[in-house]
Chains A and B, each alone.
Chain A
Amino acid sequence: MAKYGGWVGKILRVNLSTGRIWTEDTIEKYKDFLGGTGIGYKVIWDEVPAGTKSFDPVNKIIFGVGPLAGTGAPCNGRTAITTLWPTCWPKALVATGHMGGQFAAELKYAGYDSIVIEGKADHPVWLSVVDKKVEIKDARRLWGQGIRRATIEISQEIGPGAAVAAIGQAGENLVPMSVVMNSYSHSAGGVGAVMGSKNLKAIGVRGTGSVRIAGKKEEWEKLIKLHLSLLGANNQHVVPSSPQPWAEYYDAASRWKGSRGKMWGASTPAIETGTCNPHDLNRIAYRTNNAVHYLGDIAWKYTVRGNGCTGCPIRCHTMIKVPSAAAKYGIPEVGQNTCGGLNFGRSFFKTFPDGPRGMTGIEACMVGMYMSDDYGIWCNYSQLQRDFQKLYYEGIIKSKLEEKEFKSYSWDKYEKGDPSFLFELLPRIALKEGELGTALGLGTGYLLERWSLSEEEWKKSHGLNYWKLGHPKHHSNEEAGQCGVIINTQYNRDPQCHSHANFTRNGLPLEILKRLAAEIWGTPDAVDTVGAYTPMNTGKAKMAKWSLLRKELHDSLSLCNWMGPWVASPLKERGYRGDDSIESMLYSLATGDKKNRQELDQVAERIFLLHRALTIRDMGTKEMRTQHDTIPQWVYEDPSHRPVYTKGTTHLDKEDVKLAMDMYYEEMGWDKATGAPTPEAYRKVGLGKVSDELDKKGLLP
């Protein structure tokens, strides 16, 4: 029997240039990096030289899965796909896209902890992984097809239980704003074109094995029940959106929409969600309804059910059935997705004839999902749509396009909020047709460069949410003050970190949030309520560090950082506490490698520092504070000119944010002047060789 549980033991390696397929031992080489982003960063560091571009054959794509994928731990369905990022502007740096669905578990059941793809095939291919039988297959008949057709054809070949991660026409055409998608609606943005550059249409995986749990069965089952009991709804919202008999608290903004009298109206027969008492672990799936969250109560009528990833009872991809969309637009009447994917089509429009939460908006969602999830177009956390609105309404599109091309779009339809406009726009992005389609598909940074527009203007605009390197903010000062700002400085795309926002938005009263904050980060002052921020303190720096490390930990274990961490819970009898050690308990029992919370956090810090080292190496500078960890001007400005740190404003003070970065670097043990990790910081987490290599290049502070 293998020494460790959790991992299944092999990393699958494929060179598409040579056709070579081989495996590596996971434990020997990658155990200290867990899996997921950890393996991704390690492979890029070891094997992809600085200066490599996204579409170079020497660039690699790592489909990283962690030791908890496929185990039965709640929310274990994440695959982290790491590569040199094609929308990172002005040069490609390391980043990761994340997809849920069934791919991660299926890969484990096939006997692999991750897949590393390198090289470039000389014609379109797909990778067939059926347990030990791995083959590179001809994909010429699939090339030019959408994601759905590719998925169906591959499933027909290797079995209906297959998980297929495929790209659409956008990825094939090397459109940087493209995704890879599995299980109908679970996508990872930004990497579709990197697969396309390798002539890799899809990876189809079918596994018949299992994942061994090292610990005792009864202990594992008890732990799973504990974890389930701590779950809230999507984004770990731990209070319902309306008063329920069992609940002390509620928050209209919560994604916990289930309630007495609320029906999944498009199910046959219709299903009442019920009051969703948190002690009933068999009804967790009835809590979340993201269609209702985004589209309003009207969406109950169209709700079929929730859908989601392996091992996750949250079901955040709400399935809706909208016959009018099918009748009007000739698309399927059923669609499913969450957040940016659900709103992909709707977000292009400023207005709709029946208001922001009417039927036309729902139909725009249906059309958007149908097209973007088949062509495989990425929204970059809706930056694509925000850019589009600004470019159109400020007359920039008109000025940049030839008259003939401009007139080829039905702008009157667009202004009226007619979803059929999407049939004109989205295919042209995916197929790189015309100047507008080509420019939008580049991503913000390269679009600005192509059209000679100023990034500074984007950095000043409050409505655009633009942050840096061609990417937007993702849970910044608007909801987590200085902590959110720090987190948004750290990555080479939007940070996709939810550790902090899933705490500040969980719906509990401020007094309870502060009590929990004091227990986790040492002071109640670590958290403020939204729009009532106070000056920087050490608790906020600790919260920022904790948030980032938990994100990397989740991404490396295959736990969902869109759901965790689980430091708050819906349970009154626990004082609404969650358990800050749930990840280390799951890891220890699953793998048999016993690590407490602090020890596992140190592994997460190792992974995070390797990302930092990669960024420094590939940027060729140690001056991270001034060259990388930058903050857009809009963070410091309030359109209504309210004084900073008064109630009713989310803007921050420049000097205080400087202090915030000082305190954060200090908390991380990094050099405050440059923002670069010190040799000691690297050595503390076992990255001495990384430090030595950076030293040779003069990249240590």
Chain B
Amino acid sequence: MQQWETACLVVANIIRKKSEAGQLLFQKEIFRGLMDQKVLKSDNREQLGTFEAILKKTMKRNEDLKELLDKDGIPRYYSAEFMSEAYVRILLRKEGNPLLLIAEIVRENSALYPRPIPLDTFKNPPFELTQEDILACLQKISGQEKYQDIAQTITSIGTVFLYSSRHLDSDYASMLAEWLDVGQYNNP
């Protein structure tokens, strides 16, 4: 019984730590974590059954721990205490088509705040796209009808911002980009 308690605590800790670091976890990674910490001793079939039971019990006991099924049907795990839904959405999108990732993030920013988003945002974590990837995406976006709302504006100092014309008209997007990139620095 004591061993089960310990195992559940270890699982919860593994998931929370990874969430804090910005990662979703697959079952196999949690399993490996339990092996590394000698909670499970081998990966035979019997141990797999034990692992599934531990995981199930852990999820039931800890409200912050969430199981997420993406389109591929493979569950991912995270702690809502350490990872926001918005971040989870980014990580899931990142697993798929980068075009869609960029488009959805741009639309979200244009609709929510509302504001255009600097192109360089996609070079940084958690997106971590290369300059080449980003430029390739932009080229593809311009030719596809489903992304025709994704537009760009360039500020007076040459910074490229993206916005969605569904939510921001071009004059407004340009003005906001100029404010974000130049105006606010002149008004510190």
Pair A479/B187 contact, Cβ less than 8 Å:
yes
With most chain A CB atoms within 10 A of its CB, the pick from B121, B179, B180, B185 is: B185
Instruction: Tell me whether A134 is interfacial, beta carbon within 8 Å.
Output: no
Instruction: Tell me whether B171 is interfacial, beta carbon within 8 Å.
Output: yes
Number of interface residues of A (CB under 8 A): 47
Instruction: Tell me whether A455 is interfacial, beta carbon within 8 Å.
Output: no
Pair A244/B157 contact, Cβ less than 8 Å:
no
Instruction: Tell me whether B4 is interfacial, beta carbon within 8 Å.
Output: no
Number of interface residues of B (CB under 8 A): 39
A382 to B187, CA, bound (A): 9
B185 contact from A277, A294, A475, Cβ within 8 A: A294
Instruction: Tell me whether A448 is interfacial, beta carbon within 8 Å.
Output: no
Collect the chain A residues with CB atoms within 8 Å of residue B124's CB: 242, 259
Pair B22/A247 contact, Cβ less than 8 Å:
no
A648 contact from B19, B120, B171, B183, Cβ within 8 A: B171
A275 contact from B22, B113, B158, B184, Cβ within 8 A: B22
Instruction: Tell me whether B73 is interfacial, beta carbon within 8 Å.
Output: no
Given contacts A245-B83, A259-B125, contact A648 B175 (CB under 8 A): yes
For window 20-63 of B, CB contacts with A under 8 Å fall at 20-22
Given contacts A245-B20, A478-B183, contact A252 B121 (CB under 8 A): yes
Instruction: Tell me whether A251 is interfacial, beta carbon within 8 Å.
Output: yes
For window 65-93 of B, CB contacts with A under 8 Å fall at 82-87, 90
A356 to B156, CA, bound (A): 10
Task: List the count of A-B residue pairs having beta carbons below 8 Å apart.
Answer: 106
Nearest B-chain residue to A341, judged by Cβ: B188
Interface flags for A245-260 (1: CB within 8 Å of B; 0: not) read: 1111101110000011
How many whole Å from B166's CB to the nearest CB in chain A? 14
Instruction: Tell me whether B5 is interfacial, beta carbon within 8 Å.
Output: no
A649 to B121, CA, bound (A): 25
Instruction: Tell me whether A355 is interfacial, beta carbon within 8 Å.
Output: yes
Interface flags for B148-188 (1: CB within 8 Å of A; 0: not) read: 00000000011000000000010110111001100111111
- State the main secondary structure of chain A at its contact with B: loop
Interface flags for A213-255 (1: CB within 8 Å of B; 0: not) read: 0000000000000000000000000000011111111011100
Instruction: Tell me whether B15 is interfacial, beta carbon within 8 Å.
Output: no
Pair B19/A245 contact, Cβ less than 8 Å:
yes
How many whole Å from A453's CB to the nearest CB in chain B? 22
Collect the chain A residues with CB atoms within 8 Å of residue B125's CB: 242-243, 259-261
Given contacts A253-B180, A340-B188, A531-B179, contact A648 B86 (CB under 8 A): no
A410 to B121, CA, bound (A): 39
A529 to B117, CA, bound (A): 16
Collect the chain B residues with CB atoms within 8 Å of residue A294's CB: 185, 188
Instruction: Tell me whether A673 is interfacial, beta carbon within 8 Å.
Output: no
Instruction: Tell me whether A518 is interfacial, beta carbon within 8 Å.
Output: no
Nearest A-chain residue to B84, judged by Cβ: A248
Instruction: Tell me whether B112 is interfacial, beta carbon within 8 Å.
Output: yes
Collect the chain A residues with CB atoms within 8 Å of residue B127's CB: 243
For window 307-361 of A, CB contacts with B under 8 Å fall at 339-340, 343, 355-357
> A: which residues have CB within 8 A of B?
242-249, 251-253, 259-261, 275, 277, 293-294, 297, 339-340, 343, 355-357, 382, 465, 473-475, 478-479, 505, 509-511, 529-532, 572, 640, 642, 647-650
30 A/B residue pairs, CB under 8 Å, sorted by A: A242-B121, A243-B86, A244-B22, A244-B87, A245-B82, A246-B20, A246-B82, A246-B84, A246-B87, A247-B86, A248-B85, A252-B121, A260-B21, A260-B125, A275-B20, A277-B82, A293-B185, A294-B188, A343-B188, A355-B158, A465-B186, A509-B112, A510-B113, A531-B175, A531-B179, A640-B171, A647-B169, A647-B171, A647-B175, A648-B174
